[in-house]
């Protein structure tokens, strides 16, 4: 009887409709950094800096600088640039459009707008007093017009940051907003559609708790979608001997804790503070202390995730705010140590879910030999320390490591010192202590085992100097001096492995030299037209043939360079070939 009862209960349970268990959304953390597009020669002169960018006193729309910023920041763990924006007639708007928006590597970095309300909005109520009064009709109209401008110019860009499909906008110092409420956000969304608003509301005093903050929690609901705290710096709260981490733990962390417990809060990460203005004492910080700062921030509680797709954003103050001296961007004084700390915390520890933008590929250890000069590439032992091309290198071993990144991009590293080669502003090739992205990436043009290196940073070709200095320089055109050949006699790896790094596509054709003649070998059966031209574009030889086999294309003088044009099946391929070494 008891077994029959159990069976009946089991059958009744099985007859109950089963509902699918809802899947838990896969949320990820992001690392954002405040980015400033306001630099140009006059700006650097008007304001002082305590730290010097490694890239020099740049202009914010300089494309080599923008490309370098994106590659370096992405490599070291930044996912999003939060772009400071003052108004549509300001350089922060102009340089965003002419710089970052046109960068060829923009797909590596998301971006979002940061409204600076103490610019235009502050004055529209008739006075500049650090208060943005929404009782003013002019302020309310400008508020909506600003977001409409963002929608028309930025939100449709594939790189623009969105949370659950809503474009993200961060509004700075919303604690200066007076007579502001959810009705102004509702009105905004009625005009421009859904938008995800991050508010810089958390600070000291009454702003240290979202329940007492001016625009924090009202009637049990947050006014904005989420909150940030740009930084907690207040000169009057510093005590003698304060460091960035000591100040954060005493002043910042108590109110970060309150906001993180009660609202969606994206916590700040500031490595140090070194303002140029009088009355703003510095907050120094070492790399080891920065590591502890990040550790403290990551241990904060979380009231709720930011969205179905986003957990939280860690906000770095800053990537390049040089006037307040919080920059993570490499500087001559601090180097890339802080960047390496960030990468360790958010990339190497697997916190960030986005794949690394650059992955090291195949490596070959070899000697590089200039075809035109018959000299080897090595480091100068003298005061300059730049790379040079000499018949006999004093350095031992005389080898370099070529790292293939794929997509015809390589990195060149000195095997003895472990330093990476980079083109500097004086157009010489110098060793860098660490790998930091575009500075060390070269585009490679290959023909068999011979190759030429073009700086990704500047677009110029590496070649030995024409004078007696032997320096490796970066110059415009690709000519005979720009070609190198690998020497495997002292390679640390098997020659076959090194040669495979430079292999041509075997499915199309391969070019080689035999008996002083340029020969082409192909297994293709379709019609091919091969034209060999000199560097001035004059045809040296033309062959038309069908079917696989080996074909002679004529002679190229030793050390000479020619242009090879292959036309087949409607496709034209052009590359450079170099004659045999002298």
Can you give the three-state secondary structure of 488-525, one letter per residue? CCCCCCCHHHHHHCCCCCCCCCEEEEECCEEEEEECCC
Domain co-membership, 455 together with 542: no
Structural domain includes residue 357: no
Nearest residue to 32 (alpha-carbon basis) of 200, 268, 196, 260: 268
Domain co-membership, 312 together with 382: no
- Rg for the chain, CA atoms, rounded: 30
State residue 185's pLDDT score.
97
Residues 533-556 have a mean pLDDT of 69
Residues 245-269 have a mean pLDDT of 98
Contact 569, 525 (CB under 8 A): no
Structural domain includes residue 392: yes
Q: Highest-confidence range of 12-21, 26-35, 507-516, by mean pLDDT?
A: 26-35
Domain co-membership, 374 together with 293: no
Domain co-membership, 478 together with 531: no
State residue 55's pLDDT score.
85
Domain's final residue, options 300, 322, 348: 348
State residue 115's pLDDT score.
97
Residues 465-489 have a mean pLDDT of 81
C-alpha–C-alpha distance, residues 517 and 503, integer Å: 20
State residue 338's pLDDT score.
94
Band (10; pLDDT cuts 50, 70, 90): very low
Of 21-35, 185-199, 361-375, 447-461, the range with the lowest mean pLDDT is 21-35
Average pLDDT, the chain: 82
* Run of H or E including 121: helix 120-123
**Alpha carbon of 249 to those of 205, 271, 294, 295, 314: distances in Å?**
16, 13, 12, 12, 17
Band (524; pLDDT cuts 50, 70, 90): low
- Residue that the structure tokens 């700075």 belong to: 172
Domain co-membership, 115 together with 139: yes
Structural domain includes residue 35: yes
C-alpha–C-alpha distance, residues 398 and 376, integer Å: 8
Top pLDDT among 377 and 512 is at 377
Contact 379, 414 (CB under 8 A): yes
Residues 286-314 have a mean pLDDT of 96
State residue 559's pLDDT score.
47
CA angle 142, 143, 145 (to 5 degrees): 60
State residue 291's pLDDT score.
97
Contact 397, 443 (CB under 8 A): no
Band (498; pLDDT cuts 50, 70, 90): very low
Structure tokens at 204: 């000291």
Residue 434: CATH number of its domain: 2.80.10.50
pLDDT of residue 213 exceeding 60, the answer is: yes
C-alpha–C-alpha distance, residues 166 and 163, integer Å: 5
State residue 397's pLDDT score.
52
Domain co-membership, 122 together with 147: yes
Cβ-based neighbour number of residue 485 at 10 Å: 19
Question: What's the structural domain count of the chain?
Answer: 3
Domain's final residue, options 500, 526, 558: 500
State residue 547's pLDDT score.
66
**Alpha carbon of 120 to those of 89, 123, 125, 131, 340: distances in Å?**
11, 6, 10, 11, 38
Domain co-membership, 51 together with 105: yes
3-state secondary structure 377-417: EEECCCCCCCEEEECCCCCCCCCEEEEEEECCEEEEEECCC
State residue 494's pLDDT score.
39
Structure tokens at 264: 């969606």
Q: Please give the share of the chain, as a percent, with pLDDT higher than 70.
A: 77
49: Cβ contacts below 8 Å, ≥ 6 apart: 276, 322, 323, 325
Structural domain including 445 reads: 363-500
C-alpha–C-alpha distance, residues 65 and 270, integer Å: 23
Residues 292-308 have a mean pLDDT of 96
401: Cβ contacts below 8 Å, ≥ 6 apart: 363, 364, 365, 412, 413, 414, 415
Top pLDDT among 197 and 359 is at 197
Band (56; pLDDT cuts 50, 70, 90): confident
Domain co-membership, 394 together with 342: no
C-alpha–C-alpha distance, residues 255 and 76, integer Å: 28
Residues 304-331 have a mean pLDDT of 95
Per-residue pLDDT reduced to its tens digit, 110-127 = 999 999 998 889 888 888
Residue 182: CATH number of its domain: 3.20.20.80
Domain co-membership, 330 together with 413: no
Structural domain includes residue 505: no
Domain co-membership, 332 together with 369: no
Structural domain includes residue 24: no
Domain co-membership, 216 together with 150: yes
Mapped onto helix, strand or coil, the DSSP state of residue 554 is strand
Structural domain includes residue 262: yes
Contact 449, 457 (CB under 8 A): no
Nearest residue to 108 (alpha-carbon basis) of 480, 482, 438: 438
State residue 400's pLDDT score.
83
Structural domain includes residue 20: no
Top pLDDT among 243 and 427 is at 243
CA-based torsion, 252, 253, 255, 259: positive or negative: positive
Domain co-membership, 396 together with 533: no
pLDDT of residue 84 exceeding 50, the answer is: yes
C-alpha–C-alpha distance, residues 37 and 70, integer Å: 13
Band (438; pLDDT cuts 50, 70, 90): low
pLDDT of residue 246 exceeding 90, the answer is: yes
Domain's final residue, options 500, 529, 559: 500
CA atoms within 13 A on the CB side of 181: 5
State residue 111's pLDDT score.
98
State residue 388's pLDDT score.
82
Structural domain includes residue 16: no
Residue 552: CATH number of its domain: 2.60.40.3080
Structure tokens at 155: 């939100």
State residue 271's pLDDT score.
97
């Amino acid at each position: 009887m008891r077994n029959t009862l159990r069976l009946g209960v089991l059958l009744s349970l099985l007859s109950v409709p089963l509902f699918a268990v809802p899947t838990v959304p896969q949320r990820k953390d992001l690392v954002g950094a405040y980015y400033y597009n306001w630099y140009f020669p006059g700006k650097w002169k008007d304001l002082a800096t305590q730290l010097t960018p490694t890239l020099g006193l740049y202009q914010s729309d300089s494309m080599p600088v923008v490309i370098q910023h994106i590659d370096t920041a992405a490599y070291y763990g930044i996912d999003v640039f939060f772009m400071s924006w003052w108004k549509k007639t300001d350089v922060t708007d102009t340089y965003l459009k002419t710089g970052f928006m046109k960068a060829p590597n923009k797909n590596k970095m998301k971006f979002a707008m940061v409204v600076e309300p103490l610019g235009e909005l502050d004055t529209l109520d008739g006075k500049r007093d650090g208060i943005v009064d929404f009782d003013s009709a002019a302020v309310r109209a400008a508020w909506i017009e600003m977001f409409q401008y963002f929608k028309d110019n930025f939100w449709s860009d594939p790189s623009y940051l969105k949370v659950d499909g809503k474009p993200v906008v961060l509004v700075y110092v919303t604690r200066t907003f007076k007579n502001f409420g959810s009705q102004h956000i509702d009105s905004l969304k009625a005009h421009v559609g859904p938008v995800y608003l991050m508010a810089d509301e958390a600070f000291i005093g009454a702003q240290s708790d979202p329940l007492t903050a001016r625009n924090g929690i009202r009637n049990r609901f947050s006014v904005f979608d989420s909150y940030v705290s740009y930084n907690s710096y207040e000169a009057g709260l510093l005590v003698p001997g304060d460091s960035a981490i000591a100040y954060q733990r005493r002043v910042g962390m108590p109110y970060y804790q309150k906001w993180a417990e009660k609202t969606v809060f994206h916590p700040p990460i500031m490595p140090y503070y070194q303002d140029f203005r009088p009355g703003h004492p510095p907050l120094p910080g070492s790399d080891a202390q920065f590591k502890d700062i990040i550790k403290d921030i990551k241990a904060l509680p979380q009231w709720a995730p930011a969205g179905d797709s986003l957990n939280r954003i860690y906000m770095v103050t800053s990537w390049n705010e040089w006037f307040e001296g919080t920059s993570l961007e490499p500087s001559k004084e601090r180097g890339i140590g802080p960047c390496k700390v960030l990468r360790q915390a958010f990339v190497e520890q697997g916190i960030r879910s986005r794949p690394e933008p650059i992955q090291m590929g195949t490596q070959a250890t070899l000697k590089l030999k200039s075809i035109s000069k018959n000299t080897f590439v090595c480091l100068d032992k003298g005061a300059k320390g730049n790379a040079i091309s000499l018949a006999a290198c004093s350095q031992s071993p005389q080898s370099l490591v070529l790292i293939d990144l794929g997509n015809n991009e390589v990195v060149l590293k000195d095997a003895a010192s472990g330093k990476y080669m980079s083109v500097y502003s004086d157009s010489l090739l110098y060793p860098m202590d660490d790998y930091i992205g575009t500075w060390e990436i070269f585009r490679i043009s290959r023909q068999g085992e011979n190759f030429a290196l073009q700086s990704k940073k500047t677009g110029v070709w590496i070649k030995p100097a024409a004078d007696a200095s032997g320096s490796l320089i970066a110059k415009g055109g690709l000519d005979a001096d720009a070609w190198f050949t690998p020497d495997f006699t002292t390679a640390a790896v098997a020659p076959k492995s090194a040669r495979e790094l430079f292999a041509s596509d075997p499915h199309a054709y391969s070019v080689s030299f035999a008996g002083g003649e340029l020969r082409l070998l192909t297994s293709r059966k379709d019609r091919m037209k091969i034209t060999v031209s000199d560097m001035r574009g004059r045809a040296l030889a033309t062959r038309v043939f069908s079917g696989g086999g080996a074909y002679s294309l004529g002679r190229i003088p030793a050390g000479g360079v020619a242009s090879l044009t292959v036309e087949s099946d409607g496709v034209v391929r052009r590359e450079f070939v170099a004659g045999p070494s002298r």
